[in-house]
Structure 1
């Protein structure tokens, strides 16, 4: 296991909820935000891939004459036993992502290629800080752009709180705007009798907390079930599906969260990346399964959903001596959901000739990730250009919101 990799345990625990400060219980007290003017009920899910995704292996520019030589043994090809399906005449998708390929054909998924945050060094920690904080440099704030976006939504009649998935709230959702957390941690379970006795105890001493605890238990019950129990041998890829399944159940509820953020670790593929089969294929298969779980779990809500998948930076264009890739710059962002204007690879392609590589080693970024996220926040949640440039992504006026990402 890489030094930066950790597996997220998928089991949901009632005791974990009770010991976690009854985070779901706060749901009843979250502020409400205005319904979209056109009657939509939008959902937004942000998925952070920690460790730096190889964008050239995920969506391969097989039409670029310099790609195959640079990516060597792990380069994708549109033919052969592990053929990568073509998205258009130039780009092919990793074969481990058939669900994303289907969404793409159905125009519910899109790719933004040669994308990057403003960060240009190669530290995971600083890169993730910039990705999630929304600032141009690391270490400047302790709040995230998604929390600041949540705080700018107009107050109204509908719950629009945010769900932070994981043992700790991702930086992208930290800040003053209220959020609730769900940690699918593998903790010993308290039985139903213990939980009910706690509710009874609080009903006499703190009725408000008792009511909140009851609601929290009910929400936890809605997220769990036999289909959420990890099967023997569940790996990191399987855990991605289970986490997405639980989050989708909560977000599908009429009074559930409309915004969520979660992070998947382990994308630092310095060795044995594996091309169409191998380590990256397993990770991409887990991500692909998670997207499918969001689609099926949200049901009719999928129509008004956008999923944004982003990573801190890309990986080198040239394969290294251990059949992997090292820290790079340009990469891909993936968009999925019924609200996405899909079926497109959006890219100002820089080319892979030696003179076109960033610092002679990386895919050169031509699109600012902030511009893509701004386009989603503006057209999906209704945030203004001024709020996006001044509050959500401070000092980012030069990164204009991308148009036409949302139907």
Structure 2
């Protein structure tokens, strides 16, 4: 039997008892996990150093190495994320509806766990902890398949979490990590109907599309983040600079960072040169089309592929547009329905943008970097869904549940 199938079967078995756990039992387990991460931080950092060394030797870029790296502060943040999940309301058992039928049947609609969730993700080992926290809090078992670049880090983290779970009411087998780095292990997960109830991919466009196109198990798609910021004619310059720089520079490797800057031609005529200088001082490479380059000649030429590229790096595409409609048309053609922003003092334009732009999160005068479970008050997130069915946007605890109808009768037949 393959590693993938064996671990999925163990998770399936563990899931049968997960829905019976009390909120207190689950919270106690999460606290043990948080404390264990801090207690074992040195061994986790040492395992992470092996991954970083291998990544440097294989030529991984600086932004990807940043996603991979762990230190005391990041491990403390992972532990704090677990504690924040403890404080969040447990959705399992929530009664969403209660109603009576004319024949006397009493119907309740309640939240229940999804069952076994498969998470396929790439370089960020903090996802291992986030996924475990959210899945276990909602009474789900989870099968994790992280990227090979973080294999040592993920293995050590799960060993630490297993040690904590062994002292709790949650079965250790409710948390599984696939250790095989072979691509076939992903392909096998995609077809494990009956063992895995839903798949959630987290990562770049190619990983997500492979899962979406080839899985027979249901998928919640977390999309790539080609996010735009549109600076309108009426934007306050100082605010626009701060928002645009934050959206690109604060952490360019993540999916809610800006990849394309759209600038109204009237604003561009006055301010694009100084805005471009601010980006250059922040070591951002600018790629512009003809109008943008006319105002900032040192920009590199933007190719047609640039508008559809999630750089995850200090690279930014820049386009000058004539009005709001042209900006929204560009977003419709090239956006990934993740996060989009307008910087404007024009209330009508802001209203139109928020209403007409189709994305999981739309912003007026705020950075797209806020599309995040922590920032929205959900605690750690499982991902940011860009699809429209089951969940959309940052997925917190309720997104990892489904519903069940409980029907109470007194002998009714149809």
Do the two structures share a fold, i.e. TM-score over 0.5?
Answer: no
Rg comparison, structure with higher value? 2
Structure richer in helix, relative to its length? 2
Query: Which bracket does the TM-score occupy, shorter chain normalised?
Result: under 0.3
Structure richer in strand, relative to its length? 2
TM-score, normalised relative to structure 2? 0.26
